[in-house]
């Protein structure tokens, strides 16, 4: 097969995701999937005018139904534009075919929706089914027959990496193999990583737990048994939990068996030639960092066609704490649904936590080819998260003691933005949602700090031209995931307080990823007039090879990345784009247009939450 990099520009255009020509961007942009008639409504116009401009909202019959003047935001660093904001929240009549006009500029027609249709939620969750490893993807459960595929990596059995790494260090391997079949592929690659699998599972299970604890009937119905296209539907268990359990079973399988000794790096002790010094430890209960290919496979490579040997990579403290956190969460959530599974999860969680406490400094900092690093030198947040989940589930004094000693519990340290490597806020969200084991004063402090965090996000909204609750100087890898993770905090802040500003900020975040951005782009496949179509993905690789499918609907692009512009496409854009515009719809652009489980999970969380609001 021809390597992607050699395809000419013309060939790329001819084989792009679909043959339908793409609509041109508009000057007035807004959520391309429409807005809730009952919700806040904001559109953006990039225009050099210094003074407010007149805007009109016109219905499908051409009648002006609302009008006003733009709010001049002015120069906006994130977009590189001079921005006007059009707030038409006052228009509340549901209907189709509305347009906004300013002078001779006209928006695309859009709908004001009377209520949610659940489509984004279902599509965003289908992503997880379609990333499943070890099982065939059934034509009956996906939107197009060409998305069906044979099982990949069945079985996924692997021993520990026992080859030379890119620096020439030869690794010792281990005396066992594990069957780690199942789970979700991480992204465009087919590696499976405990750290990233863990936060993704947590996010889906948290979406469910929130609905259950707060008794949100509509949200529970949307993820109930039979509501989603998963093979387990009809088994009496909420479908979102079936999907999450598919990954949980994989995470549990990544735990080192009792009694096994392994040679691992501790801290960053190095010897000759910069090679890591290895120490023999009792590794039982720790979790392997990842299972992945010994070298990078090309694009496209369907999962079933991967020819490369896969290995387990040495266990890390972060992966172990991650497993402890999500297995403890599962033990709580499955307690009445499947007590035997809950029990198995709790035992694994306790073992993983104890092993991590014995070995607090095994870091994923070694570079191996063929899979991502997910290296993280700061583990205080993982300790806090795992202790929070274990304490919320068990009420054990030992976990409370770890919590109380944590700077995230005392408030000495802010929990900050949630990501695969920054998980303290996940612990705080659990303690805020399920606080029964906490003393009232502790519960109130945890909640107050989350609300204070949400306040900083709302304040960021006011500092950005496109009015999204996110204002970094540079956009990181996976910025869309970062934005939607903020929306989770905002969503829970609304749940706790009922303050409309938090809910509006969740809408702002969703509006941004669905089209209210300077590229007039919906970053979700299949949603909106100008959706992303060419993700960095080894199976949904139609742009590279017409024999492979275009992506399904509901898949979120990583989004603009102005800080780690290392792929070939991004390299050519360095210095030439404002942060929100450092993005192209190109399969080769893995720093900007890859898709992952940890970005789609907050998309699903937010879609469910907005549906729950009736938006
Ligand atoms: O897919 C790319 C692969 O072919 C290259 O060899 C590799 C070199 O670093 O970079 C790409 O790999 C990405 C992978 O598909 C998964 N996402 C991130 C990887 C790069 O960090
Ligand atoms: O999401 C990860 C991002 O935060 C890192 O900066 C980047 C480089 O290390 O890696 C990203 O994770 C990739 C992972 O290593 C392999 N699978 C695809 C992930 C998304 O590109």
**CATH code: domain of residue 90:** 2.60.40.10
Q: Please give the number of the atom of ligand 2 that sits closest to the Cα of 189.
A: 17
Q: Are residues 228 and 374 in the same domain?
A: yes
Per-position b or e across 136-169, b if 16+ CB within 10 A of its CB: ebeeebbeeeebebebbbeebebebbeeebeeeb
Q: Are residues 436 and 366 in the same domain?
A: yes
Best residue among 189, 190, 558 to mutate for probing ligand 1, ranked by most atoms within 8 Å of CB: 189
pLDDT of 370 reads 98
Question: Is 475 within 8 Å of 596 (Cβ atoms)?
Answer: no
| 104 CB burial (10 A radius; 0-12, 13-18, 19+) | exposed
Residue closest via CA to ligand 2's atom 21 equals 594
Last residue of a domain, one of 87, 114, 141: 114
- 493 in any annotated domain: yes
Task: Tell me which residue has tokens 């391997």.
Answer: 173
Are 110 and 125 in the same domain? Answer: no
Q: Tell which atom from ligand 2 comes closest to the C-alpha of 375.
A: 9
* pLDDT by 10-residue block (mean), the chain, 615 residues: 38 49 96 98 98 98 98 98 98 98 98 97 99 98 98 98 97 98 98 98 99 98 98 98 99 98 96 94 98 98 98 98 99 98 99 98 96 97 98 98 97 97 98 96 98 98 98 98 99 98 98 98 98 98 98 98 96 96 98 98 99 97
Identify whether 32 is part of a domain.
no
Q: What pLDDT, on the 0 to 100 scale, is given for residue 6?
A: 37
The closest alpha carbon to 352, from 378, 336, 372, 329, belongs to 329
Q: Tell which atom from ligand 1 comes closest to the C-alpha of 536.
A: 15
CA 293 to chain CA centroid, Å, is: 23
Ligand 1 and 188: CB distance under 6 A: yes
Same domain, 102 and 147: no
Q: Compute the distance from residue 273 Cα to the ligand 2 centre, in Å.
A: 27
Instruction: Identify the pLDDT of residue 189.
Output: 98
CB neighbours of 369 closer than 8 A, spacing ≥ 6?
165, 166, 294, 295, 296
The pLDDT value given to residue 19:
56
Which ligand neighbours the alpha carbon of 596 most closely? 2
Six-digit token string for 113: 């929706």
The residue annotated as part of the active site, out of 189, 222, 460, 611, is 189
Q: What is the pLDDT of residue 151?
A: 98
Q: Are residues 107 and 140 in the same domain?
A: no
Q: CA 438 to CA 496: how far, in whole Å? A: 17
Half-sphere exposure of 569 (CA within 13 A, CB side): 19
Single out the residue of 33, 42, 50, 51 nearest to residue 86, CA to CA: 42
Is residue 389 a contact partner of residue 430, using CB atoms and an 8 Å limit?
yes
Q: What are phi and psi of 594, to 5 degrees?
A: -80, 165
Backbone angles phi, psi at 71, to 5 degrees: -95, 125
Among 114, 137, 158, identify where a domain stops. 114
Active site residue 594: yes
CA-CA distance, 444 to 414, in Å (whole number)? 16
554 located within any domain: no
Same domain, 500 and 436: yes
- Residue 481 belongs to what domain range? 119-513+597-613
Ligand 1 pocket mutation pick from 296, 368, 558 by most atoms within 8 angstroms of CB: 296
Task: Exactly one of 536, 537, 567, 611 is catalytic; name it.
Answer: 536
Please work out whether the CB of residue 594 comes within 6 Å of at least one atom of ligand 1: yes
Question: Does the Cβ of 296 fall within 6 Å of ligand 1?
Answer: yes
Among 55, 68, 45, CA closest to 102: 55
* 438 lies in the same domain as 298: yes
Same-domain check for residues 151 and 107: no
CA of 565 to the centre of ligand 2 (A): 12
**Domain contains 44:** yes
Ligand 1 neighbour 39 (Cβ under 6 A): no
Ligand 1 pocket check for 189: Cβ under 6 Å: yes
- The total domain count for the chain is 2
Distance CA 312, CA 432 (A): 36
Atom of ligand 2 at shortest range from CA of 421: 4
Angle 119-130/194-213 helices, nearest 10 degrees?
Answer: 150
Ligand nearest to the CA of 184: 2
Active-site choice (381, 460, 567, 594): 594
Query: 114, 145, 162: which is the final residue of a domain?
Result: 114
* Two structure tokens written together for 509: 């975040």
Q: Is 536 a catalytic residue?
A: yes
Q: Indicate whether residue 185 lines ligand 2 (CB < 6 A).
A: no
1 found inside a domain: no
Q: How far is the CA of 41 from the centre of ligand 1 (A)?
A: 39
139 and 107 co-located in one domain? no
CA of residue 296 to ligand 1 center, whole Å: 7
Taking the centre of ligand 1 as the mean of its atom positions, its distance from the CA of residue 369, in whole angstroms, is 9
Instruction: Point out the catalytic residue in the list 156, 376, 520, 585.
Output: 585
Packed helices 500-513 and 479-497: angle between N→C axes, nearest 10 degrees: 160
User: Cα torsion for 501, 504, 506, 507, to the nearest 10°?
Assistant: -170
Q: Is 400 found in the same domain as 283?
A: yes
Q: Clarify whether residues 46 and 153 are in a common domain.
A: no
- Does residue 351 fall inside a structural domain? yes
Ligand closest to 297 (CA) is 1
Phi and psi of 517, rounded to 5°? -150, 165
Q: Is residue 607 part of a domain?
A: yes
Q: Residue 531 domain-assigned? A: no
Residue 243 belongs to a domain with what CATH number?
1.50.10.10
Q: Which ligand is located closest to the Cα atom of residue 563?
A: 2
Indicate which residue's Cα is closest to atom 2 of ligand 1: 296
φ/ψ bin of 91: left (φ > 0), alpha (ψ from -120 to 50), beta (otherwise): beta
Distance from the alpha carbon of residue 563 to the mean position of ligand 1, in angstroms: 17
Pocket test for ligand 2, best of 185, 187, 420 (most atoms within 8 A of CB): 187
Atom of ligand 2 nearest to the CA of 591: 21
Q: Is there a single domain that holds both residue 311 and residue 376?
A: yes
């Amino acid at each position: 097969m021809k390597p992607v990099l050699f395809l000419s520009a013309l060939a790329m255009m001819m084989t792009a995701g679909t043959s339908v020509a793409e609509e041109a961007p508009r000057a007035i942009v807004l959520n391309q999937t429409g807005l809730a008639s009952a919700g806040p409504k904001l559109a953006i116009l990039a225009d050099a005018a210094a003074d407010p401009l007149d805007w009109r909202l016109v219905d499908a019959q051409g009648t002006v139904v609302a009008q006003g003047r733009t709010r001049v935001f002015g120069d906006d660093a994130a977009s590189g534009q001079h921005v006007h904001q059009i707030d038409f929240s006052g228009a509340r009549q549901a209907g189709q075919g509305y347009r906004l006009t300013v002078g001779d500029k006209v928006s695309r027609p859009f709908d004001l929706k009377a209520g949610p249709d659940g489509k984004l939620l279902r599509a965003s969750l289908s992503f997880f089914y379609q990333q499943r490893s070890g099982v065939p993807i059934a034509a009956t459960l996906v939107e197009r027959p060409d998305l069906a595929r044979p099982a990949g990596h069945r079985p996924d059995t692997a021993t520990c990496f026992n080859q030379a790494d890119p620096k020439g260090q030869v690794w010792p391997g281990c005396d066992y193999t594990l069957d780690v079949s199942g789970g979700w592929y991480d992204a465009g690659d087919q590696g499976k990583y405990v750290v990233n699998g863990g936060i993704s599972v947590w996010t889906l299970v948290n979406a469910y737990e929130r609905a259950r604890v707060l008794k949100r009937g509509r949200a529970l119905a949307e993820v109930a048994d039979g509501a989603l296209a998963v093979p387990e539907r009809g088994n009496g268990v909420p479908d979102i939990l079936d999907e999450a359990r598919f990954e949980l079973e994989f995470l549990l399988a990544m735990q080192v068996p009792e009694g096994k000794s392994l040679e691992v790096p501790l801290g960053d002790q190095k010897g000759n030639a910069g090679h890591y010094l290895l120490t023999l430890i009792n590794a039982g209960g720790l979790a392997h960092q990842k299972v992945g290919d010994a070298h990078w496979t090309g694009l496209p490579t369907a999962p079933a066609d991967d020819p490369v040997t896969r290995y387990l990579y040495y266990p890390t403290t972060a992966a172990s704490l991650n497993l402890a956190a999500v297995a403890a969460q599962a033990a709580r959530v499955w307690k009445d649904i499947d007590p035997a599974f809950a029990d198995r999860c709790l035992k694994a969680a306790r073992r993983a936590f104890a092993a991590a406490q014995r070995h607090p400094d095994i870091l994923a900092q070694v570079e191996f080819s063929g899979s991502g690093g997910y290296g993280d030198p700061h583990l205080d947040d993982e300790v806090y998260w795992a202790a929070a989940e274990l304490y919320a589930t068990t009420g054990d004094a030992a976990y409370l003691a770890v919590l109380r000693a944590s700077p995230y519990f005392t408030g000495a340290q802010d929990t900050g933005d949630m990501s695969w490597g920054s998980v303290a806020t996940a612990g705080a969200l659990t303690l805020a949602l399920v606080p029964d084991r906490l003393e009232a004063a502790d519960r109130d402090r945890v909640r107050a700090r989350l609300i204070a965090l949400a306040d900083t996000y709302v304040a960021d909204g006011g500092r950005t031209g496109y009015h999204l609750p996110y204002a970094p100087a540079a956009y990181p890898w996976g910025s869309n995931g970062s934005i939607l993770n903020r929306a989770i905090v905002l969503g829970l802040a609304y749940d706790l307080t009922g303050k409309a500003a938090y809910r509006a900020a969740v809408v702002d975040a969703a509006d941004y990823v669905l089209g209210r951005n300077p590229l007039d782009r919906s970053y979700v496949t299949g949603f909106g007039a100008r959706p992303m179509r060419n993700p960095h993905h080894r199976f949904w690789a139609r742009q590279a090879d017409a024999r492979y499918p275009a992506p399904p609907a509901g898949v979120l692009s990583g989004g603009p990345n102005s800080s780690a512009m290392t792929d070939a496409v991004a390299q050519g854009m360095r210095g030439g784009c404002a942060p929100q515009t450092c993005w192209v719809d190109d399969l080769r652009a893995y720093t900007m247009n890859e898709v992952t489980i940890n970005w789609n999970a907050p998309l699903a969380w937010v879609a469910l939450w907005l549906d729950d609001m009736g938006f």
